[in-house]
Chains A and B, each alone.
Chain A
Amino acid sequence: MRPAASILLLTTATGFGFGLLAWLGAYAALGLLPPEAPVLLAAGITVSLIFASLGLAASVFHLERKERAWRAFTQWRSSWLSREGVAAVLIYPVAIAFGVCFWRDGQSLCTRLLGAATLIGSLGTVYCTAMIYASLKPIRQWHNAHTAPDYLLYALFSGAVLFAALRTVLLGAPGPMASVAAVMAAAAFAAKRAYWRHIDGQAPLATLAAAIGTPNATAKALDAPHFSENFILRQMGFAIARRHAARLRHLALGVGFALPLLLEVLAGVPIAPLTTTLLALACAALGLLIERWLFFGEATHVAALYYGRPV
């Protein structure tokens, strides 16, 4: 599948934003927000909403008819894309109310409840995003049990890295977030490897012979309907060389997860926490963009079979 820049930006930026929001909500729900936190929480909510807004703005650029984007909020009963839009918009007032409540009352019941709502809402939005892909039956690399939990995990990982950096900038030390981010990095590393092992071991969804109604024969494509690329081939015939994919996989694992893990451990010691947490953030962002590019680039669509392409 063609990795469109708008979608890469959407899924990674909202991952950072909603991931951070989820951690802030979780901290408040558990009553663990540090007393000096009003500034941290206010900054955290602002930064997370900026990231989320960036991602959502990017997604609008994916639309051919941007002026009709409001229509996408209407079909939440059947469409995960619509649900994502509705959930993403609903989280804003909840997150702002959460921040205001903490600013005014501190660690009250109201804060804890709103924190829990923020946690559920932000992870729910990420889940909706993941389900857009996980629900597409023609794409075996997406329609499986890995996609949704992995998206949640990467959001929590990127949110933790962002939180650690933000806490260090504001309070001078990452606190427990360095350890949390390190653990999430290790989990994300393992999940990505498990995902790649899974898709590498999958059988193709169908054979060409079955796709053309001659299931007992062997078939090969002779003539395509047209000799130039068309929309279908541009979108669904996208393929990357195995050699390039292997190199990018190493890069995603190394830059995206292993380096942040190492840097967060250093930050936790603490050794130069400001430098290490900011560097970890930059690495995670770059690595996740590569990881997301591969999520699209390595995905094959069963319709490409009709053009005799491997799926």
Chain B
Amino acid sequence: MTMLPERAPGAKKLGLVIDLDTCVGCHACAVNCKEWNTGGEAGILPDYDKYGPQPDGVWFNRIHSYETEEGGCSRTVNVPRSCLHCEDALCVTVCPTGASYKRVEDGIVLVDTDKCIGCQLCAWACPYGARELDEKAGVMRKCTLCIDRIHDENLPPAEREPACVATCPSRARHFGDLADPESEVSKLVKARGGLDLLSDLGYRPTNKYLPPRRATVPSAPAPPPSPAGKGLGAALLKLLDKALSR
């Protein structure tokens, strides 16, 4: 059923807390996500033109790098982008078939690929671009929060976390229950001022992002403008400058 469930009192809100201060943009989380989710319960995550000039495929997690500047200090900010398991998940309510649903017990948003007709409306409804069409199977795919790991009692408790969290070498990814104010993730969000991405749109995402700490080292001043003016002399100087600074 694609109506959003009433949240039962005491129900969990499982999600990720991603630290933009310590993420180094190594893409290990995306690689381990792909590796885990291409096998096992979720079946294969397809690739197209794998060894060709335009390789493409379905990824649940993609890592962007940005340059930001604030108060004269610039820095690189790496932003892993995946499903945020929103509380007001429009991707669920727009689904005409009931394939998209949000679990009552832990708030995870999933796609039942046996019901999906591949209309792609849910992908349009997601402001985070978190849903990707499996162009081989013709169904929508998305992050499952590694539901086949986190609830697997055959795994040792320490391993019952999403593949992306388990593999992060800079410990920038944290997994837990964001409904419980005493959980490690909730404390982290409180201490570091964790934010909702695109909060104005009102999707109330479960996943939180910890903003980068304020940079304190000012950026190097911009190089002074080249003394060379116009004309033949300037062109020669430019050529010389280019040759010498090689």
Q: Give the shortest distance, in Å, between A72 (CB) and chain B (any CB).
A: 4
Knowing A65-B139, A72-B119, A302-B201 are in contact, say whether A232-B129 is a contact too (CB < 8 A).
yes
Contacts of A226 in B (CB 8 A): 56, 59, 62
A81 at the B interface (CB under 8 A): yes
B38 at the A interface (CB under 8 A): no
Knowing A75-B1, A219-B66, A223-B64 are in contact, say whether A138-B121 is a contact too (CB < 8 A).
no
* A223→B119 contact, CB < 8 A: no
Contact of A209 (CB < 8 Å), options: B65, B68, B98: B68
Contacts of B209 in A (CB 8 A): 212-213
0/1 per residue, B184-203, Cβ < 8 Å to A?
A: 00000000000101101111
Q: Which of B3, B27, B77, B97 has the most CB of A within 10 A?
A: B97
* A211→B202 contact, CB < 8 A: no
* A214→B117 contact, CB < 8 A: no
A269 at the B interface (CB under 8 A): no
Question: What are 10 sample pairs from A and B whose C-beta atoms fall under 8 A apart?
Answer: A75-B96, A75-B98, A80-B94, A81-B119, A138-B125, A212-B209, A218-B69, A223-B65, A235-B120, A302-B127
A residues 55-75 with Cβ under 8 Å of B?
62-66, 68-69, 71-75
Which of under 10, 10 to 19, 20 to 34, or 35 or more describes the interface residues of B?
35 or more
Please, how many angstroms separate the alpha-carbon atoms of A303 and B197 in the complex?
11
Residue count of chain A within 8 Å CB distance of chain B: 60
0/1 per residue, A223-247, Cβ < 8 Å to B?
A: 1111011111001100000000000
B interface residues (Cβ-Cβ under 8 A, vs A): 1-4, 20, 25, 27, 30, 53-59, 62-70, 76-77, 79, 81, 90, 92-99, 115-121, 123-129, 132-133, 135, 138-139, 195, 197-198, 200-203, 209, 211-212
Please, how many angstroms separate the alpha-carbon atoms of A210 and B70 in the complex?
13
A25 at the B interface (CB under 8 A): no
Knowing A136-B124, A302-B198 are in contact, say whether A212-B77 is a contact too (CB < 8 A).
yes
Contacts of A136 in B (CB 8 A): 90, 94, 124-125
Knowing A62-B119, A63-B118, A214-B68 are in contact, say whether A78-B124 is a contact too (CB < 8 A).
no
Q: Give the shortest distance, in Å, between B174 (CB) and chain A (any CB).
A: 15
Contacts of A306 in B (CB 8 A): 64, 79, 81, 128-129
* B95→A79 contact, CB < 8 A: yes
Please, how many angstroms separate the alpha-carbon atoms of A74 and B200 in the complex?
31
Knowing A72-B119, A214-B70, A226-B62 are in contact, say whether A139-B54 is a contact too (CB < 8 A).
no
